[in-house]
A and B are shown apart, each in its own frame.
Chain A
Amino acid sequence: MKLITAKEAAEKVLSKEPLFILDVRNQDAFGDWKIEGFHIEHLNVPYFDLIEGVEEIVDKIPKDKDLLVVCAKQGSSEMVAEMLDEAGFEDVLVLQGGMRAWSEYLKPVKIGDLSNGGSIYQFVRVGKGCLSYFIESDGEALIVDSSRSVDSYIGFAKEKNITIKHVVDTHLHADHISGGRLLREKTEAVYHLPPKDAEEVQFAYEPLEEGKDLQVGGATVRVQSIYSPGHTIGSTSLIVDDKYLLTGDTLFVESIGRPDLAGKAGDWADNLRNTLYNTYEQLNDELIVLPAHFSNTSELGDNGAVQAKLGDLFEKNDGLNMDEETFRKAVSENLPPQPNAYQEIRQTNMGKISPEANEQSEMEIGPNRCAIHG
C-alpha cells in the first residue's frame, strides 16, 4: 500500500493514464461528487460493507490497471487498501487526505506572457472545478478569485520572489469560500470587491469599480474592470493586458453563469442577458476568456488549462446563441441543484459567520454547480 498526494493523483488524472478508483465513501457522497477524468473507471462500495472482508469485490477490480482507493479523509481507504493488500493486490494506492485534500488541491498552469514582461497563471482546483488567477509582473502579483487554500499562492509567490499586492473577487462567491481575507491577513494585499455584492460584508474592502483600473508591477500591466451583472448584481469582469478576459462566473467555456444563487433569478436574468449579449458582444473577439469554473474535465485543454477565444464562444457556446425567450427559460427553469451549503458559504464570504477550518472544508465538499448548460 502506498499513499499518494492529491497533487500526484491530479497528475495521473490529467495525464489521462488508465486508473481504477475504488471509492469507499457512502453512496450518497459518491453520487454527489467523485474524481472525474479521462480513462477512469469507478467502483463504489462503502467501507462499512467491507469491514468483514473484501472477498465480494476482489473479482470486480482489474489487476492490470493502477488501483487508487479513496474515501472522505483517508482512514477508511487505508483500512480497505490493507485488506486488498492481504488479498494479493500489489501497489494499492491510497489518496492522502482523501476527498477533502482532493477538493483543496490547486494546480498552477501558465496561460501566457504579458506584453511588458510578467505572466498570467491559472490555478486549477481540479477536484472542485474552481479556477483562480495569479497575474505577476515586475515582482508584484494580483490574485483573482482566490480559493481558501491560500498557502498555494503564497508558496508560489515566494518561490518566484514575488509580493502579492492585490486580491480581487469578481463577485461574492456562493460555491466556495474566498481566500481574499486570509490573503490580506497573511500578505497585506489589498482586497477588492464589487461594491454591489459587498453591501452586507462585515469588513473593510476596496471597491472594484468600472473605470478604476488596477496596476500590477508599477504600471506594466493594466487590469481593467467591466461591470457585468447577472450571476450576481455586482459581478465584474477583468480585462488583463488587453488580451485576457476574466469572466468570473458570468461566462464559462461550455456554459453560462446561473443568476439564482442569491435568490433573485427573475430579477437578474435580464442583467445576465445584457452582459452576455451586449457588453461582451462589443468586446474584442480575440480576447481569451478565462472563467472562474469548469464543469467537466473535457473543458481542460492539452496543457491542463481552461480557456477559449471570446469569438469562438460566440459561435459555439449554446448560452450565447439563444433567442430571448429560450434564454429566459434556460436561466430560470429546471436549474441544477444549488451548491452544497451555498447560503452558509455566502454568509462566510460576507464575514457574517466564521466557521472553523474543518467546517469550512465540509461546507465546500461537492461539485460547484455554478453553471447552466444550454
Chain B
Amino acid sequence: MSIKTDHVLDAKGLACPMPIVKTKKAMKEVMPGQVIEVQATDKGSLADIQAWAKSSGHQYLGSTEEGEVLKHYLRKSGDAEAKEDKNFPHTVQNEEIIQKLDAGEDVVILDVREPAEYTFGHIPGAVSIPLGELEDRMDEISKDKEIYVVCRTGSRSDLASKQMEEKGFKNIKNVVQGMVEWSGPLEKNQ
C-alpha cells in the first residue's frame, strides 16, 4: 500500500532515540497541515511516536508494517485549522449523515483530508480529494447531486465548500463536526 505524503523520512536501521529525534527535526521543516511518513525498523518507535505526537500536539494518523519496516504517518498541526471569520452557511451534523447512510440514500461524501488521513479511516464510499488538489480536480465531482464535504474538524471542509460554491456548485453542505467526532461506520484502505 502506498499513501501519498508530503515528505518521507528514512529512519530505517536507526535505534532509539534517533527515529524520534529525526522526526522532530523533519516536522519543523514541513508546513502546517502537511503529512510526513516516517520509515523505521526500531519496533519501539511505534509506541514512542504516538506518545510524542500526543505530547507535541501533532496528529498521529496511523502506522503500517511492511516486513521489517514500520511506516508511521503524522500530520503537522498548525494555524490552518483556525476557523475563518465567515463560515460557510450550509452545514449538517454528523448524525444526519449517519441517518442517510442507514437509510441507504445515495449521497456523495467528499473527504478533503490528506490521503494518509483518509487511508486510516473514512466514511464508507467517501471520495478522497485533498483540499490542496480540489481546485484542479473539481470536475471529478457531479454538480447535480447533493454533496457533503467532510474533513477532520470542519475547518478544511469549510474552505472547500466555499471554493466549490464559487465554482458554481449549488448543493453543498459542510459536515461541521467532522471525522474527529465521527461515530458512524468507518472504512480503512489496508
Question: A72 on the interface (CB 8 Å rule)?
Answer: yes
> B16, A26: Cβ atoms under 8 Å?
no
A 62-82 binary contact with B (CB < 8 Å = 1; else 0):
000000000111011001000
Question: A49 on the interface (CB 8 Å rule)?
Answer: yes
Question: A194 on the interface (CB 8 Å rule)?
Answer: no
Question: B189 on the interface (CB 8 Å rule)?
Answer: no
Contact of A48 among B15, B43, B55 (CB under 8 A): B55
Question: A326 on the interface (CB 8 Å rule)?
Answer: no
List residues of chain A with CB within 8 A of the CB of B43. 358, 362
Question: B165 on the interface (CB 8 Å rule)?
Answer: no
Give Cα A75–Cα B24 distance, bound, in whole angstroms. 17
Give Cα A75–Cα B44 distance, bound, in whole angstroms. 12
> Which residues of A in the span 293-338 have a Cβ within 8 Å of any Cβ on B?
none
Question: A284 on the interface (CB 8 Å rule)?
Answer: no
In the complex, the chain A residue whose C-beta lies closest to that of B23 is A48
In the complex, the chain B residue whose C-beta lies closest to that of A358 is B43
Contact of B47 among A26, A51, A358 (CB under 8 A): A26
Closest-CB distance, A361 to chain B (whole angstroms): 10
> A73, B44: Cβ atoms under 8 Å?
yes
> B51, A73: Cβ atoms under 8 Å?
no
Closest-CB distance, B34 to chain A (whole angstroms): 20
In the complex, the chain B residue whose C-beta lies closest to that of A73 is B16
Question: A47 on the interface (CB 8 Å rule)?
Answer: yes
Give Cα A48–Cα B25 distance, bound, in whole angstroms. 12
Contact of B52 among A46, A72, A75, A79 (CB under 8 A): A46
> A26, B17: Cβ atoms under 8 Å?
no
Contact of B48 among A26, A79, A358, A362 (CB under 8 A): A26
Give Cα A199–Cα B86 distance, bound, in whole angstroms. 69
Contact of B55 among A29, A46, A79 (CB under 8 A): A46
> A71, B47: Cβ atoms under 8 Å?
no
Contact of A49 among B16, B21, B55 (CB under 8 A): B55
Question: A354 on the interface (CB 8 Å rule)?
Answer: no
Question: A28 on the interface (CB 8 Å rule)?
Answer: yes
Give Cα A253–Cα B15 distance, bound, in whole angstroms. 40
> B24, A48: Cβ atoms under 8 Å?
yes
Question: A27 on the interface (CB 8 Å rule)?
Answer: yes
In the complex, the chain A residue whose C-beta lies closest to that of B49 is A48
Question: B74 on the interface (CB 8 Å rule)?
Answer: no
List residues of chain B with CB within 8 A of the CB of A72. 16, 44
> B48, A51: Cβ atoms under 8 Å?
no
User: Once A and B bind, how many residue pairs between them come within 8 Å at the CB atom?
Assistant: 45
Interface residues on A, range: 10 to 19
Give Cα A49–Cα B20 distance, bound, in whole angstroms. 10
Closest-CB distance, B63 to chain A (whole angstroms): 15
In the complex, the chain B residue whose C-beta lies closest to that of A76 is B17
List residues of chain A with CB within 8 A of the CB of B24. 48, 51
Closest-CB distance, B163 to chain A (whole angstroms): 37
Main secondary structure of the interface of B (DSSP, over half): helix
Question: B18 on the interface (CB 8 Å rule)?
Answer: yes
List residues of chain B with CB within 8 A of the CB of A27. 51
> A48, B17: Cβ atoms under 8 Å?
yes
Contact of B20 among A48, A358, A362 (CB under 8 A): A48
A 10-35 binary contact with B (CB < 8 Å = 1; else 0):
00000000000000001111000000
List residues of chain B with CB within 8 A of the CB of A47. 16-17, 20
Closest-CB distance, B152 to chain A (whole angstroms): 24
Closest-CB distance, A48 to chain B (whole angstroms): 4
Closest-CB distance, B84 to chain A (whole angstroms): 33
Give Cα A28–Cα B48 distance, bound, in whole angstroms. 9
> B55, A51: Cβ atoms under 8 Å?
no
> Which residues of B in the span 39-65 have a Cβ within 8 Å of any Cβ on A?
43-44, 47-48, 51-52, 55-56
List residues of chain B with CB within 8 A of the CB of A71. 16-17
List residues of chain B with CB within 8 A of the CB of A79. 17
List residues of chain A with CB within 8 A of the CB of B18. 75
Closest-CB distance, A84 to chain B (whole angstroms): 15
> B17, A75: Cβ atoms under 8 Å?
yes
In the complex, the chain A residue whose C-beta lies closest to that of B18 is A75
> A48, B51: Cβ atoms under 8 Å?
yes
> Which residues of B in the span 1-41 have a Cβ within 8 Å of any Cβ on A?
15-18, 20-21, 24
In the complex, the chain A residue whose C-beta lies closest to that of B53 is A48
Closest-CB distance, A38 to chain B (whole angstroms): 29
In the complex, the chain A residue whose C-beta lies closest to that of B52 is A48
List residues of chain A with CB within 8 A of the CB of B51. 26-28, 46, 48
Besides A46-B48, A51-B20, A76-B17, 7 more A-B contacts (Cβ < 8 Å) are: A46-B52, A47-B16, A47-B17, A48-B48, A49-B55, A51-B21, A75-B18
Provide a sorted-by-A list of 12 A–B residue pairs whose CB atoms are within 8 angstroms: A26-B51, A47-B16, A48-B21, A48-B24, A48-B55, A49-B55, A51-B20, A51-B24, A72-B16, A75-B18, A76-B17, A362-B43
